[in-house]
């Protein structure tokens, strides 16, 4: 019900509900503050109106009510922080699944789009070297590494399986961008020279828009052209087959 009231967008990840609930709790607090402050403001307008108070009174408040209220608001904020925000952060941000527990995908943002590196059928990335990074080789892939032969490279299009954790290793080729998939309730800054993991467990198949959440240049809005598709296992398997590079570099050539 409150999701509707706040027009929260569709959720497609396991932890998304927790994020939404937290947003709702904060709105409850903000609602209470809004009503309380508004009522107090109206009361003060009436209580200290000019016709009743011809002369200014320098004493100010004579009770401690405002202090108690301040303390009560602070306690609610501490509860939101310690019982909800910090445990939620620990659960959905800090505990990144390991190599065997999740699909790992590399994301390289650039002005103005999203490059993806998928480990392919063997679930192993090929070697990458900083020295090899170029306009054609955005991930600095080592073309001689056998683990990298089946790696899939795409632009503005990535597929992940439903109901399996996925870790996005987010980086940038030029300026600071931010990888944001609203449906997944995932957002991570993309910083040149760093690879920062962000993860979730998708739970609803569909095609979802990717946004850049940092103003990154003239074409910033064009970065909404990226899409993430959550596939059923069957669709995902066929996506892998269709996009795995052939020995002559067929599929890879299309996407690089
Ligand atoms: Cu951007």
Instruction: Render pLDDT for 30-54 as a digit per residue (tens, 0 to 9).
Output: 999 999 999 999 999 998 888 988 8
- pLDDT value at position 206? 95
Top pLDDT among 255 and 148 is at: 148
Q: How far is the CA of 198 from the centre of ligand 1 (A)?
A: 17
pLDDT of 254 strictly over 60 = no
- pLDDT value at position 255? 46
- pLDDT value at position 249? 52
Q: How far is the CA of 36 from the centre of ligand 1 (A)?
A: 40
- pLDDT value at position 223? 95
- pLDDT value at position 111? 93
Q: How far is the CA of 60 from the centre of ligand 1 (A)?
A: 52
pLDDT interval class at 112 (50, 70, 90)? very high
Q: How far is the CA of 168 from the centre of ligand 1 (A)?
A: 16
Report the DSSP beta bridge partners of residue 12.
none
Residue 199 sits at φ, ψ, to 5 deg, of: -140, 165
Longest dimension (CA), the chain: 91
> For residues 53 and 61, what is the distance between their CA atoms, to the nearest angstrom?
15
Instruction: Name the helix (H) or strand (E) containing 196.
Output: strand 196-200
The answer to whether residues 208 and 230 touch, using CB atoms and an 8 Å cutoff, is: yes
Q: Which has the minimum average pLDDT: 12-16, 62-66, 68-72?
A: 62-66
pLDDT of 248 strictly over 80 = no
pLDDT interval class at 79 (50, 70, 90)? very high
- pLDDT value at position 130? 83
Q: How far is the CA of 181 from the centre of ligand 1 (A)?
A: 13
- The DSSP-derived string for 201-217 is -B-S-EEEEEEE-S--S
Average pLDDT score over the chain: 89
> For residues 196 and 106, what is the distance between their CA atoms, to the nearest angstrom?
10
Q: How far is the CA of 62 from the centre of ligand 1 (A)?
A: 54
Tokens encoding 27: 């709105």
**How many other C-beta atoms are found inside a 10 Å radius of the C-beta of residue 8?**
16
- pLDDT value at position 228? 96
Tokens encoding 124: 């192993």
- pLDDT value at position 245? 84
pLDDT interval class at 58 (50, 70, 90)? confident
pLDDT interval class at 161 (50, 70, 90)? very high
- pLDDT value at position 250? 47
The answer to whether residues 145 and 128 touch, using CB atoms and an 8 Å cutoff, is: no
Residue 189 in 3-state DSSP? strand
> For residues 179 and 185, what is the distance between their CA atoms, to the nearest angstrom?
11
pLDDT of 256 strictly over 80 = no
Taking only the tens place, the pLDDT of each residue in 177-226 is 999 999 999 999 999 989 999 999 999 999 999 999 999 999 999 999 99
pLDDT interval class at 247 (50, 70, 90)? low
Q: How far is the CA of 191 from the centre of ligand 1 (A)?
A: 11
Averaged over 88-92, what is the pLDDT?
Answer: 86
- DSSP-derived letter for residue 141 is B
Q: How far is the CA of 189 from the centre of ligand 1 (A)?
A: 9
Tokens encoding 127: 């070697």
């Amino acid at each position: 019900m409150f999701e509707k009231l706040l027009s929260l967008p569709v959720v497609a990840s396991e932890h998304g509900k927790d994020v939404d609930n937290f947003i709702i709790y904060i709105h409850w607090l903000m609602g209470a503050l809004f009503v309380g402050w508004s009522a107090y403001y109206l009361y003060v307008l009436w209580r200290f109106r000019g016709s009743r108070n011809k002369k200014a009174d320098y004493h100010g408040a004579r009770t401690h009510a405002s202090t108690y209220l301040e303390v009560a608001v602070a306690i609610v904020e501490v509860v939101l922080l310690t019982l909800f925000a910090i445990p939620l952060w620990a659960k959905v941000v800090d505990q990144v699944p390991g190599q065997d527990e999740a699909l790992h995908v590399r994301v390289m943002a650039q002005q103005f789009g999203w490059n993806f590196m998928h480990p392919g059928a063997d679930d192993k990335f090929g070697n990458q070297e900083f020295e090899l990074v170029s306009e054609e080789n955005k991930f600095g892939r080592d073309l001689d590494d056998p683990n990298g032969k089946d790696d899939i490279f795409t632009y503005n299009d990535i597929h992940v399986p439903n109901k399996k954790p996925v870790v996005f290793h987010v980086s940038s080729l030029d300026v600071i961008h931010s990888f944001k998939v609203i449906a997944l309730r995932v957002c991570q800054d993309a910083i040149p020279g760093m690879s920062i993991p962000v993860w979730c467990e998708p739970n609803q198949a569909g095609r979802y828009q990717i946004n850049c959440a940092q103003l990154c240049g003239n074409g910033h809005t064009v970065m909404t052209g990226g899409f993430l598709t959550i596939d059923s296992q069957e669709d995902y398997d066929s996506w892998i087959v269709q996009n795995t590079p052939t020995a002559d570099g067929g599929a890879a050539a299309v996407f690089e």
